[in-house]
Structure 1
């Protein structure tokens, strides 16, 4: 019902705009006036505006779309700064999506690059996201939270989706949930994205449904490592064995990741902010030392013959497999 009313409003705005063009003077935009001056200084300019209303954005048209006066002013200023040529069609696509003027203004504030999009390209992105299972409600929430998704190519979205399905073995429904709750994953490096999954799967013993529930991909790999290892070294987390069993009861992943740092420290890790700060510094030093060791081992391998290289490579792969996750090389 709401979508139908929105479409009627857009059609009415487009019709009124086409039959009642607004005269635009350089450097000034009237709020809403269909009265023309008695003497037109430049008839050809007025004729041009009349025949191509879709490319003009005025305060009047923004008010017709439902923006308040203050919102219309801010939206118009942003459009002028970006010099976008297709802003009316972009706004129309967002309104037809079901977003209200306040939500659209917040989107433009977060990501001014949206002003420069073409309405047809934006609609193509929206249609593609719908095909991936992002239905009404989820799609609007995703775009409002991370409007940069509208700037990504269809190819990029497909690449991330394929990696999550084929290499991380998430179901199609789980991939949809990940994109809805953690759309920033679409811009993450694919190798780092896969490694983050492997760390949670092998090192922490967490399975895909729990990862989705805990919104794993919202956190950086360094934060994930830090929170996990802090618990582990305090004896509060244990990597499950091959049968998935542990000697202690591990806290759920969502209790580790989906809470603030204060809640994590007081209710999960039972530690202080100072202890966690010191531990974070120690972790950074350890990772830096591991990086130097990896570089040194690579230099040694380059100086050995091919057979030794093959043997060392097999041994190294076996050692990494025993740790349960791939070593992150720098």
Structure 2
């Protein structure tokens, strides 16, 4: 399944003020979605969908959102309740992303119906649509066929359909290409690490192969790390510029010692874990990993951007990296 709108699976917003919503944010799309909502008093009660719809519309009106009719909002609210989704989660998500109300109820029925048939959990149906609303524009039969093909793809115990519920961009990528990419990655990462790599970094299945290899080669050749360290982090979900900037900030400050894992398999432990370096917020990275200030890191980020534009001065082994990358691309690119 392909669509030129696949890159539109992103966004952020505010949270319903009367509901505590346990949020998660997709590391790739940056779209925030509700894992589960609950009332602030923690209580459970029998609810009226009409009363709750009124409450939701009042909340949206306070935000200046008044373009959705009561009839349409009530119909979607009831549909989500019928799926078995808690009202707190529904209100949290629709308040967070009122644009979800812009889609016809028939599209919600078609998409959720196909996903229910596939055995997808009700909350994950809402999460998937919140992460990638263009799922509602896909024809039911096309979505059904793609789901069936993804269900057949497994990496170890990891089922690709399960992965697609939190990274729904996979639903817009031809399963045949995903299968080929898994084979390519399997030529670099052993089975024991391949499923972990894909679980932590699902974008390696859909990004351009050159982009994936660029990041792997930098972490391997410049940072001196091997497959286990790469697979256990989410570094490959980040941009190459992010990876370079985080590493160089530590390296130039004397806080990163390039390990030699061939001589000492534990030498990487002299540094922070790759996940600590790459998967943290700017503030946490600067303060807790580098023990410097966030302002210093932001200044360095700007400097790295300028260096990238002028030609990076720090890739001493660039020729070697390019040769190795070329070999990977020649052997595995499809």
Task: State the TM bucket, normalised to the shorter chain.
Answer: 0.5 to 0.7
**Aligned with 2:282 (options 261, 268, 272):** 261
- 2:288 and 2:219 map into 1 onto residues whose CA distance is 21
Question: RMSD value over aligned CA atoms?
Answer: 4.2
- State the secondary structure of the residue aligned to 2:255: coil
**Aligned with 1:121 (options 142, 147, 165):** 142
Distance 1:138 1:75, change over 3 A: farther
Distance 1:93 1:289, change over 3 A: same
Residues 1-330 of structure 1: pairs in structure 2 closer than 5 A: 65-66=83-84, 78-80=102-104, 84=107, 88-133=109-154, 139=160, 142-166=163-187, 169-241=188-260, 243-245=262-264, 249-290=270-311, 320-321=319-320
- State the secondary structure of the residue aligned to 1:145: coil
Distance 1:237 1:326, change over 3 A: farther
TM-score by length of 2: 0.59
- State the secondary structure of the residue aligned to 1:286: helix
- Where do 5+ consecutive residues of structure 2 fail to align? 1-68, 327-334
- 1:257 and 1:188 map into 2 onto residues whose CA distance is 18
- 2:250 and 2:323 map into 1 onto residues whose CA distance is 18
Count of matched residue pairs: 248
Distance 1:239 1:63, change over 3 A: closer
Distance 1:29 1:266, change over 3 A: closer
Give 1:158 shift. Answer: 2.7
Give 1:137 shift. Answer: 8.2
CA displacement, residues 135-161 of structure 1 (integer Å, 9 cap, x when unaligned): 888656523322222111113313432
Give 1:271 shift. Answer: 1.1
Distance 1:75 1:163, change over 3 A: same
CA displacement, residues 37-85 of structure 1 (integer Å, 9 cap, x when unaligned): xxxxxxxxxxxxxxxxxxxx9998776544689969989955428x85x
Distance 1:244 1:254, change over 3 A: farther
CA displacement, residues 77-119 of structure 1 (integer Å, 9 cap, x when unaligned): 55428x85xx645323312444343432332233222123233
Distance 1:136 1:107, change over 3 A: farther
Higher helix share: 1
TM-score by length of 1: 0.60
Aligned match of 1:6: none
Aligned match of 2:11: none
Aligned match of 2:23: none
- Where do 5+ consecutive residues of structure 1 fail to align? 1-26, 33-56, 294-316
Aligned match of 1:9: none
- State the secondary structure of the residue aligned to 1:99: coil
- State the secondary structure of the residue aligned to 2:165: helix
Task: Give yes or no for contact 2:153–2:179 (8 Å, CA) kept in 1.
Answer: no
Give 1:178 shift. Answer: 2.8
